[in-house]
Structure 1
Amino acid sequence: MINESKLLERLSKNDASAYKLLFDTYYIWLCNYVCSLCNDPELAEDLAQETMIKFWEKRKKIIVKISLKNYLFRTCHNEFLQHIRKKKIKVDFLDQVRWDALTAVYEEEKTPESNRIEILNKLIDQLPPRCKEVFILNKLERRKYKEIANDLGISIKTVENHMSKALSFLREHATSFML
Structure 2
Amino acid sequence: MSTVSEPLLLDAFLRHQSEIRQFLARKVSCPIAADDLTQETYLRIARYRGGEEILDLRAFLFRIANNLALDYLRGLARSEARDYGPVEDSIACRAPQPDSAVAAQQQLARMERFIYALPQQCRTVFLACRVDGKSYAEIADELNISPRTVEAHMYKAIKLLKERMDWL
TM-score by length of 1: 0.38
Whose RCO is larger (CA < 8 A, sep 6+)?
2
**Pair member with larger Rg:** 2
TM-score by length of 2: 0.40
